[in-house]
Amino acid sequence: MTDDSALRREMVDVCRRMNSSGINQGNAGNLSVRSSDGFLITPSSLPYETMTPEDIVEMGFDGTYVGRRPSSEWRFHRDILRERQEIEVVLHCHSLYATTLACHHKTIPSFHYMTGVAGGTTIRCAGYATFGTQALSDNALVALKDRLACLLGQHGQISLGKTMEAALWLANEVETLSRMYVQALSLGEPPVLSDEEMARVIEQMRKMSYGQAPDPEGTNDLARPRDAAV
Ligand code: 13P
């Protein structure tokens, strides 16, 4: 059996940082990470302050589990990890501004270039469905098509990553963008960047390994480490 203790410890740490960074609170939120033969997921309704690595639940893609009762949202974690082979981590939280927009079923448009960190010109809002249901998972997968994040109608947000660090970073970015958008809306609907400009932004992010678009071959052609060979 593979030793997953390091992954479990990191999950506890990331969950606590979800709360301390202000993007989650109370019993909300959940986190999953792909493992050798399925995925690890946070247990349901256990406050992160008291959660230990041993409380993390091991699940298979067939829905069977070992340990405590898994997060009520195991279906969307399972379905995302099954459908999106490039993704290793699924993070869900009820951050305030993202949820504020989700309560109005608003999609985040390209009002700010950073919308591109989720991989496209918008961050969509998934249609509402009861928490813990297959319908919610189905809606989330549609909203996440070609994206690394989405809002969940009258619920919260989901951010994806290749690493826990990247998923946590993205969830904070989605929350910051949501806050900016809510504030921008107070002056009226803001103008948006064109699809052509957003394509340039996304390419620039890729080239510069900006945020969650790491490309080991990518370089910023104006900057290089001082001791690099010329
Ligand atoms: P769990 O504690 O079951 O993971 O539920 C929290 C939540 O955010 C439901 O959407």
Q: Could you give all domains of the chain from N- to C-terminal order, each with its CATH number?
A: 5-209 (3.40.225.10)
Cα distance from N-terminal residue to C-terminal residue, the chain: 47
**pLDDT score, position 207:** 87
The rounded Å distance from CA 62 to ligand 1 centre is 20
73 touches ligand 1 (CB under 6 Å)? yes
Is 196 part of the annotated catalytic residue set? no
**Atom 6 in ligand 1: which residue has the minimum CA distance?**
28
Tokens of 129: 């469905």
Q: Average per-residue pLDDT in the chain?
A: 93
Mutate to test the pocket of ligand 1, among 57, 92, 93, 134 (most ligand atoms within 8 A of CB): 92
The rounded Å distance from CA 186 to ligand 1 centre is 31
Residue 43 has pLDDT above 60, yes or no: yes
C-alpha 31/C-alpha 115 separation (Å) is 23
**pLDDT score, position 215:** 47
Query: Where does the pLDDT of residue 229 fall: very low under 50, low under 70, confident under 90, or very high at 90 and above?
Result: low
pLDDT > 90 in the chain, percent: 87
pLDDT > 70 in the chain, percent: 92
Give this prediction's pTM.
0.94
Decide the pairing of beta strands 125-126 and 149-152: parallel
Mutate to test the pocket of ligand 1, among 24, 50, 73 (most ligand atoms within 8 A of CB): 73
Query: Where does the pLDDT of residue 230 fall: very low under 50, low under 70, confident under 90, or very high at 90 and above?
Result: low
- Ligand 1 atom nearest 30 alpha carbon: 4
Q: Which residues are bridge partners to 156 per DSSP? A: 152
CA dist list (Å): 221 to 114, 116, 214, 217, 218: 21, 21, 16, 12, 9
| 44-66 mean pLDDT | 97
**pLDDT score, position 96:** 98
| 34-40 mean pLDDT | 96
**pLDDT score, position 219:** 53
Catalytic annotation, pick one of 10, 58, 73, 88: 73
